[in-house]
Structure 1
Amino acid sequence: MMNAFPVFVDYLTIRQVHDSGNLPIINGGRVVRVDSDGEIEYVIDTRQGLEGSFDSRVEIRCDGHTVEFSGNISRYGRPDNLFGFTFSETISRINKLLESFKLPPFTKGKLYRFADSGWTWTGARVSRIDITCNYVTGSMQDSEALLRSMAGHHIGRQKGSLSVNGATVEYGRGSKYVYGKLYCKTTELKKHRSRKSGSHVSDDVVQFCQSLGVIREEFTLKSRFLLQNGLAYLGAITDSELIGVYMNRTQLQRLEKVEYENFNDLPPRLRATYVSWKYGYPIELKKTQFYNHRKELLKYGIDISIPNNVQTLPVRVKTVELAALTAPDWYIQKYA
């Protein structure tokens, strides 16, 4: 079953302590630290990587008491994860995987009230959740233009940063709170297909994304964010809570219309440089590349060696119509 509202979970890190112990030991090896006197300071079980079909992979670990899962279960055993699953469905799929290793499922536990810390759950604890939603822009040209436009927007204090290829806008890279990004799904799929891990993505899926100009908005909710917002325990997390988090942070749901400049007159290799200059971002080019780009952009009346107060390209305004994308029937029947 897919989301009624198309926000789904991409990546999840979750663990749970079982006081009774006596669970199967599952790890990818152990790291032992020994001090100068030869005493063992600590032993860490590394995660065991599980290889699924279609070159997919997740990781689990159990030291006999604590069970941990980390990875993208919506990609595991599937050729792609263009459309994923709700949080509740994600937990169900993870628990089925744990069952195959004779490990107990992740549970909500019980809700207790403590005088010093308020209400808290006793069950599984979550330290990372990636939530995402796909959108239709109408064409590849519109998706690229939308990303260029969104590079000038802020999410809170985080200003968008456009990648060199113009296919990704990032917000808060390196943040220990929330990291967000918008990216062209077609570009990502084509990049993956050049590697073994993405070679199974079908032509149908790539063509579907390309013809509709599909972009994805994604937020990585990190442990600090989850703790401060009461979402650190499985018992406190619901699909409606995560949709609420997404709706509070999304830029795209707030836009009725997106106007953008048509840059088709510029060669593709110059577009990211122009956008960086236009919005005041650092132009991260080697010295020789910088002067080559400057020379070429001067033909369009743009001098990137001078702050943005010179004549720019004539603006041709177009409106991009956005729509949140749900999985079509053919995708559900064939891949879900």
Structure 2
Amino acid sequence: MKKGRAGDESVWWSNTRHMLKAYIKHIEMLKHGCTEDDPAYQWCKEQGVVRVEIELKRRLLNDLDMVDIKNITDEKLVKVFHEQTEIFNAVDRTDEPDILDAIPPRSRIHAAAWMAGQDLRQLLPNGTFYRHAKVLRDYGIDITEPRNVESFPVKVRIVEMKPLQMPDWYSLEDQHESHLKAVGE
């Protein structure tokens, strides 16, 4: 599968069946003419919204019997979206303290080196590199991707958890009235 990125805000993966794109929504909104004072822009930025899109290519459309537009349904599209985005549900376990203990001993040192920011392509012969890449993928580690690690002095950071506040421009009363009209009060 081919991978690419556009700046720090978007990435894509593509093969002969589909193209999967993910990008930071508020940055993309600015590129398309939105202003920074727009409530939707501000909300997307505050929430950290990432938009995911999938382009289905003819090969996958044919396999799914969706080449003819009359065969395309919302149910089929939702199912394909969930199947193709399942990879985003995989958890990056590289920050777990015991992850190295779970890795087979022969690959453990390579995982540790990658986690420390080493470029293993420069350190290992090609065959060895790909053999360990295959093993480590089962543990949520992809040594084929560069690890962006920089050493910083140790700093304590306190993260305050609090309930999400609804945007000022959103009204529950308007939603309640719309719902009552929809159900025929």
Q: Could you state the TM-score of these two structures normalised by the residue count of structure 1?
A: 0.28
Higher relative contact order (CA 8 A, sep 6+): 1
Q: Which has the higher helix share?
A: 2
Q: Could you state the TM-score of these two structures normalised by the residue count of structure 2?
A: 0.48
